[in-house]
Amino acid sequence: MKLHPTVASAACAIALLADAVAQTDWARAPLLAHHSHAACAFDVARGQLVLFGGTSSAGRLDATFEWNPLASWRRVTSRHAPAAREGAAAAFDAVRGVVVLFGGRTATGESAETWEWNGVDWQQRSTATNPPIRRLAAMVWQGSRHRTLMFGGRGAGFPELDDTWEYDGVDWTERSPAHRPGERSAPALAWDSARDRVVMFGGSCFALGPCWRMDTWEWDGVDWTDRTAGWPNDPLPRWSHGMAYDDNRGVVVLFGGSDEPGHYKSDTWEWDGIAWTQRTTVHEPIGRLGHGTVWDPVRQQMLVVGGETWTGLASDIWAFDGSDWQVADRGQQPGLYPLPTADAAWDGGRDVVVWFGFGPGYTTETWEWRAGRWHFVDQGNGPAWPDQHRLAWLPPRRHVILHQPATAGSAEQTWDYDGTTWTLLAPAMLPGVTGGFDLALDPRFDRLLLFGGRDIAGQPRSSTWLFDGGEWTMALPANVPPARAGHALALDAPRRRVALFGGRGGGGLLADTWEWDGVSWSQRGPQHAPSAREEHRMVFDCGRRRTVLHGGRDATGYRGDTWEWNGIDWTERGTPTGPPASYWQVLAFDATGHSLLHVVAQNDGTWRYGTIDAAAFEPFGNGCGGSLGTPALAAEFGQLPHAGVDFELALLRLPGTLALAVFGLSRRSWSGGSLPFSLAPFGFPGCALAVSPDFASALPLQNGCGRWTIAIPTAAGLIGCEFHAQAFALDVASPTGLAATPGTTGRVGGR
């Protein structure tokens, strides 16, 4: 039965039924990016690690984050803030209780700005004297002198600096020591409070040609002293390493850095004021440069944050307690390195998005997206070498299935994930793919569909396989798409069709569209279509009833465009922003967040896609009765109300053969009274009318279930309007005598 809510049109003052097409856009999730060369300091007064800026694969960053192990990362918004920058220096002024930040490279070049963070807001300081512009300087707090000390860095262009500056909270003063360490950028400083010496090691000296320093210097507040012993007693040359003073053991600890492009160090050294000693530990972070390094006096440990590794940028935190390294925080999102080594899928049984792939150092990791952020689950489980695999949720098992093709690093395997454990399955047959396939839920909802891919000889295939949770079976439809690999599949659940687009066949890239109905394939002939491409991704947006395609690689290179398939034609969505062009990416639908999740290759972060005028449908209040269980009014297939679309609602756990469906424009008042309106005076104790009954209709029920179709007009003026709904049924087996769903509120969106 269809209900045409003309009262909603009148309430929203709709005069003309214009085309209701909403603007869609991508938005980067406000999570800590994988980064390097961020400004980092430990706020001793508040027990917080403070991090600002840095660089990611998307460019320079302008966010402030704080971390402590009890609350993990927290993005802090403030009224004022420095512009986005990388390579700024930072230190905590323990007397004034502020983090001091200087310099860095912004969009306009190197900076000479001084900023201070007090835990609430950033303040730019104006000083009578200012150091020259620079990035990649080293800075540390020297408590005995109540001064922040800064040395070196890289000025405009490529010249490196050898100047020494002190900041007292009011002004900068350049020091003129008798001895000056050579010019350098990205050295490391640490204040040895027991001996009252600032220790400096290493740095780059590119101004002299590609070179890295391995000298040790100490500053006593007046002059620099060269303490270099030379190889093999000192650490090897390096730059962009980190150092901190362990005041519990009285040593300066050094970690990481690099001595040539692509060479990332993971060694740990200690300086006791006399000599360097290399430490051997059971665990260690993956080698990196450009990481933040601080001493946490609250928990008596040195922390290493983020940085650039050989597998990409990182945002994890490692802690060194003097004996061993341990992971203190995995970061706020999984990493996706520039290889097809990860995938994600919606787990409909647990309402989470499951991500599986390689983490730093090519160790397997499982992450889940829930409540608007990523959560690390475990490490080292599942396939040992994930490569070109695909995930999909299989409703009968209520588990996520992973299929790993046969690759150089792995045999072909099928795995099951129950939310806790990865289990290797043992089907009698396997599809025999070596990559390039795609996987989707079949229109019957009780099996998975696998199509195409490459055979053992590397040639594209045209075979159709089905997996029922136990066995793989090859289907033999009369009509099949041409052989291909690198295509994409997505199930349009309401239409019960799996859409297929593109890929690469024997003759090159393809731009054809096919659909699978559970029995046979049929080619579609849309008027418009994306360019021929491969390695794009597709997912069905349940709320908007659209299959969304993003990215890939066509004849011109990597793509960053977004297209939507409505079952008839393709439409390109011109979005103001979006993920960068890429073809190694992960795309999944977040049903609870009613948006697409996109995790981009090369560590560009997590993006979400949806309409700017977003539709919504949520329950409120409490129902009553429930001899069949808690009554509910739910959107079918996770759909949301959009202008010009039939909005399908499922009536669940209502007894009898007939239900009363109530549609209204208010949840606060009706007929001069307030809502909710108690139905106890009418013989239904504990039950209430939650919405205004502006329109009501009788709907048939069968086995406790029914369907309610609300036909929303194609009117642009309806976008943003709210409506409310509730359903009732007599329930003689319940003490209340009535079964009522909670009230629900919908907001009409555009598509």
Separation between Cα atoms, residue 127 and residue 713, nearest integer Å: 63
Q: How much is the mean pLDDT over the chain?
A: 90
CA distances, 319 to each of 329, 374, 596, 634 (Å): 9, 21, 35, 47
Q: Which of 326, 234, 230 is nearest to 278 (CA)?
A: 234
Report whether pLDDT(59) > 90.
no
pTM, to two decimals:
0.78
Q: What is the structure's pLDDT at 637?
A: 76
The tokens for 37 are 């060369």
- What is the per-residue pLDDT across 670-690, written as a single tens digit (0 to 9) for each? 988 999 999 999 999 999 999
What mean pLDDT is predicted for residues 257-285?
94
**426 vs 13: which has the higher pLDDT:** 426
- pLDDT confidence band for 10 (50 / 70 / 90): very low
What mean pLDDT is predicted for residues 320-327?
96
- pLDDT confidence band for 9 (50 / 70 / 90): very low
415-422: long-range contacts (C-beta < 8 A, 24 or more apart)? 415/382, 415/383, 417/354, 417/356, 417/366, 417/382, 419/347, 419/349, 419/350, 419/352, 421/381, 422/366, 422/381, 422/382, 422/383
Structure-token match 């040609």, residue found: 209
What mean pLDDT is predicted for residues 171-178?
97
> Which residues pair with residue 279 across a beta bridge?
268
- What is the per-residue pLDDT across 629-653, written as a single tens digit (0 to 9) for each? 889 999 887 788 888 888 999 999 9
- What is the per-residue pLDDT across 354-383, written as a single tens digit (0 to 9) for each? 999 987 767 899 999 988 889 999 988 999
- What is the per-residue pLDDT across 103-132, written as a single tens digit (0 to 9) for each? 999 999 999 999 999 999 999 999 999 999
Q: Which of 354, 284, 341, 281 is nearest to 311 (CA)?
A: 341
Separation between Cα atoms, residue 609 and residue 594, nearest integer Å: 9
Q: Which of 142, 71, 155 is nearest to 112 (CA)?
A: 155
Q: Pick the most confident of 343-352, 464-473, 707-716.
A: 464-473
Separation between Cα atoms, residue 562 and residue 551, nearest integer Å: 7
- What is the per-residue pLDDT across 390-429, written as a single tens digit (0 to 9) for each? 999 999 999 999 999 998 878 999 999 999 999 999 999 9
Phi and psi of 79, rounded to 5°? -65, -35
Separation between Cα atoms, residue 293 and residue 313, nearest integer Å: 16
- What is the per-residue pLDDT across 622-631, written as a single tens digit (0 to 9) for each? 999 889 988 9
Q: Is 9 helix (H, G, I), strand (E, B) or coil?
A: helix
